[in-house]
Amino acid sequence: MEIKDSVVVVTGGASGIGRAMARRFAADGASTVVVADLDADGAAAVADEIGGRAEALDVTDETAQIALIERTEADCGPIELWCGNAGVASNGGLELDNAAWDFNWQVNVMANVITGRHMVPRWIERESGHFLITASAAGLLTNLGTAPYAVTKHGAVALAEWIAITHGESGVRVSCLCPQGVRTPMTEADGEMAIEVVKAMGMIEPEEVADCVAAGLAADDFLILPHPEVSRYEQRRTGDRERWLAGMRKLQATLPG
């Protein structure tokens, strides 16, 4: 897709990957970049910096998403790109209570379902539109130490695939962003296994992710991999799952947390 002169929405845009994408889209000539985040002050700071538009948004609130869509399209024009980038992670496994699992499910999966429910019909009618879902390498592989994150990011990848298959012939383009370790507020903690595993695999900066996103969108790529080695890991996983599981258990044994 062509970013120049497009109306773009970035959720989770107040920091990390979302902020880097918003900056990149503005630099690439988007007509409007809507920076949406639960952190209203953070969204406003990014929007002020890039000359964009700030929106306080809880992505799990369907009424709020609908209002943002209608407000943006009335004031700025048709939304050509929606980046479903807001995400959360709860460290832990099966012992975590249902509230923790539901929180991850609502933000990492259902927020994108809500977006698709209300944006995909518009894109089909216009025969144009692009949905970028930020999943994770965890959605193609796994993430040690955080079961809800690994499971729901698999769900995010599956949702992106389903939309691409079901609506790809109707003018709806879909990209699934699957980075590995990125230096963001989510990866700042020490000692948690989920954080230590991504640090062990190598960290990159959010701006590098934004560069990969820009290139992937320009090429209309479905899978955007800022860490190219993730493709090789996924092939190993599917090619010999028993060996991959054994290797992941060995890696887990070397990590704290």
Residues designated catalytic: 149
Three-state secondary structure call for residue 91 = coil
SS3 80: strand
Q: How many CB atoms lie within 10 A of CB 74?
A: 8
Measured distance CA(109)–CA(117) in Å, rounded: 13
Instruction: Taking each helix axis as running N to C, give the angle between helix 62-76 and helix 111-126, from 0 to 180 degrees, rounded to the nearest 10.
Output: 30
Residue 3 three-state SS: coil
Phi, psi of 220, deg, nearest 5: 55, 40
